[in-house]
A and B are shown apart, each in its own frame.
Chain A
Amino acid sequence: MRIVDHTQLEELAREGTRSLCPDHTRITVGTASCGSATGGREALAAVREEVATAGLAVDLRETGCIGYCQVEPVLEVLRPGEPRVLFHHADAHRARLIVRALAEGRMPTELALCWIPRNGERPEWALPRYDEVPFYSKQLKIVLRNSGVIDPDSLPEYAARGGYHALWRALTEMTPEEVADEVEKAGLRGRGGAGVPTGRKWRLCRDAPGDEKFVVCNADEGDPGAYMDRAVLEGDPHSVLEGMAIGAYSMGSSQGYIYVRDEYPLAIQKLERAIADARTAGLLGRSVFGSAFSFDVHLARGGGAFVCGEETSLLQSIEGKMGEPNQRPPFPAQRGLWGKPTNVNNVETWANVPEIVSRGSAWYAGIGTPSSKGTKVFSLVGKVQNTGLVEVPMGITLREIVFDIGGGILGGKKFKAVQTGGPSGGCIPDRFLDLPVDYEELNRTGSIMGSGGMIVMDEGTCMVDVARYFLDFLREESCGKCVPCREGIERMLEILERICNGEGREEDLPLLEELATTTKDFSLCGLGGTAPNPVLTTLQYFRDEYDAHIREHRCPAAVCKALVHYSIDYALCDDCGACIKLCPSGAIVGEAKRPTEFIDEKCIKCGACLEVCKPAAIRVQ
């Protein structure tokens, strides 16, 4: 059915409400990529089976990622008149227990994580409320408002949460100019890396001469360790489509592209479905909402090249060419896709737009810091207790993110650094933990906000190895168009490999700094321009680790293979024999299950013994 007036949109929303809050039990299982990989699919099948066996009336639905990946698979139960109940570690076995309890008329709160308020109910369960769970305590969800809540394949459920109301409002109550104004006043800045004010960019494209314009969604999500865009696309694809439609209306465009990286097949599947449903409902395509505004969206798949996340290179790739960056200016707003004015925004940027239009710029601008408004989604990963996606207001401190939300470092180890901004960013040491997180403050540390990856590193992470790692990444990803980038990265990598091998020289460090500056200043695009950041920040904050490698041929974190030796602390050994069995090179000799000798020359330093040793009797020094 094509929706052409507000009554019909309201009817769609009511249909969604009926499916979100049915008059019998609703069970949702998180089956985003992360949920599926941890057993969500098996849990779903188990629920289906148990429900059939028990003959329960249950609406079983799939949903996206609710952020707390550490406790996945996650399952949610909603019974009429009760709040939502979230279950953690809900693998097939526990999923069965949950359904069986429900069949007995009981809510198995002993398996649950928390309850999520709906209509002010106050249950008597001895269970924390959602915002009492440390992981969720300081979060504010705008971008992730629907992810893990609605069925991403359900347009009505999206509408029930206010979806497409912002587009309706823009088309019927606002001029294109007013929409751009609103986004500008909200203070929204691009979430793809550089933090360019979105309203200003839209205005450039709006004002550029030409009848044909394009809006593009950058879903290339190239920064390793960042996955918020995947979560949005898999869990709430309509929010991106609605944001793009609003932007297209404001900029006078009728065609949009979403460039999705090849590694995200499920995101592509969800987007295809969402686009098809939106077209059928008349929310995309000719004459949106029956108005004079037409807008359609096409998908383009990436080919696994990091540089294609850079906007000029991305546009080349959509045109079917090699993704090499172009000199800017001209900016895409002037000459973009097929030479036409084009506006590129990141997934998270687009997903913010409908909320800004619905709730107003004043509301949005009231969140965050003077220079950075709204929230930011971070992927909190690495050596941290609670891994997952966290959406927090700008201005929260790193300490609150890593320690309050993240629960601190894994295994009681010591915090060393947090890496932000991907290969263009840097490593921030503990002295900055109380820094309020926004674009400017992160820049001050020599790192950048980037797309929001936050990789936590502990005392077992070698910072020289991290610098080497990023250069290795960038060497493979540099398109090779300009010499400073290609050669600079290659040379810096050579030096770092030498240092990691214990063959570093004193004069290597000044040489690294010199190469870093040249690469930074003379590269064409941001890849080369920011490539030295991981090197420069580690040199600045962790020079002692470089020195230990060079002067003492020692890797303090015991990571660099050439510099470490394994041995056994026999006093701690409990004679389980696991290491003898697992060592692939026969370096651990034993009598029965008792290791008696460690042959250093045979050891290939694979770490198999370390992984399997329960009493931690394997020494790496």
Chain B
Amino acid sequence: MAGATVDTILARHGYEEHALIAVLQEIQRERNWLPPEDLATVARMLRVPASRVYGIASFYKAFSLVPRGRHVVQVCTGTACHVRGAPQILDRLGRDLEIQPGHTTNDMRFTLEKVRCLGCCSIAPVVRVGEHIHGRLTQVRAGSMLKKYP
């Protein structure tokens, strides 16, 4: 099953080596992270060393080499958000979820991450949960925001 999906993705990109990043992005979209067996499949099928695949997967911050929670909570720590209270929002969410940024709750519900600018600087501070962008947050609103994500 796993191999089949990866194969479909690779096929879509014509098994081209230069599509490596795009392939990894699609796998991550599918699975929410990059499982080792998928990375091995990619390396084998594209005929590139596994070290190169891992090099790419760790160089780019969009990739995760560990499983992530159902909802990825990304707190923007860009400059506009920073001066309008992002550090307090990040701390608050960390306290509520009892995790540090970069970690996932034990029940796999949430992963907390920092991102550098989501392009919604005008409505800072901003947090993205999955596909949803929440702006003009306060600590209180950030706390209640999480309740919407089961």
Contacts and interface: CB of A to CB of B under 8 A. Distances in A.
B21 A317 contact: yes
B77 to A, nearest CB: 8
Nearest to A561: B87
Given A262-B62, A320-B19, A382 B80 contact: yes
A455 B80 CA distance: 6
Nearest to A338: B18
Nearest to A383: B83
A288 B25 CA distance: 32
Interface string A313-335: 00001111111000000000000
Contacts, number: 159
A253 interface: no
B117 A224 contact: yes
Interface string B1-35: 00000000000000001111110010000000000
Contacts of B132: 37
Contacts of A311: none
Nearest to A323: B59
A147 B81 CA distance: 24
A303 B91 CA distance: 26
Contact of B92 (A263, A300, A322, A608): A608
Contacts of A222: 116-117
A304 B119 contact: no
B59 A70 contact: no
B103 interface: no
Interface stretch (A166-174, A225-233, A589-597): A225-233
Contacts of A226: 117, 121
Contacts of B120: 33-34, 37, 69, 227
Interface in B28-82: 55-56, 59-63, 77-82
A466 B84 CA distance: 12
B139 A320 contact: no
A256 to B, nearest CB: 16
Nearest to A458: B83
Contact of B122 (A264, A265, A389, A612): A389
Interface string A415-429: 000010010000000
Given A304-B60, A607-B88, A34 B122 contact: yes
B90 to A, nearest CB: 11
A227 B56 contact: no
A320 B131 CA distance: 26
A305 interface: yes
Interface residues of B, number: 47
Contacts of A230: 119
B83 A455 contact: yes
Contacts of B112: none
Contacts of A379: 80, 121-122
Interface string A364-382: 0000000000000001111
Interface in B106-128: 115-124, 126
Nearest to A453: B79
A263 B83 contact: no
A345 interface: no
A473 interface: yes
A497 interface: no
A321 B18 CA distance: 8
A70 B136 CA distance: 10
A80 B84 CA distance: 43
Contact of B79 (A69, A224, A322, A477): A224
A301 B17 CA distance: 15
Contacts of B140: 582, 608, 611-612
A301 B83 contact: no
Nearest to A460: B83
A266 to B, nearest CB: 9
Nearest to B19: A320
Nearest to A578: B140
A582 to B, nearest CB: 7
A420 B65 CA distance: 35
B20 to A, nearest CB: 4
Interface of B: 17-22, 25, 55-56, 59-63, 77-85, 88, 91-92, 95, 115-124, 126, 131-136, 138-140
Q: Which 9 A-B pairs have the closest CB atoms?
A: A303-B60, A224-B78, A69-B122, A304-B62, A37-B133, A304-B61, A224-B117, A320-B18, A381-B80
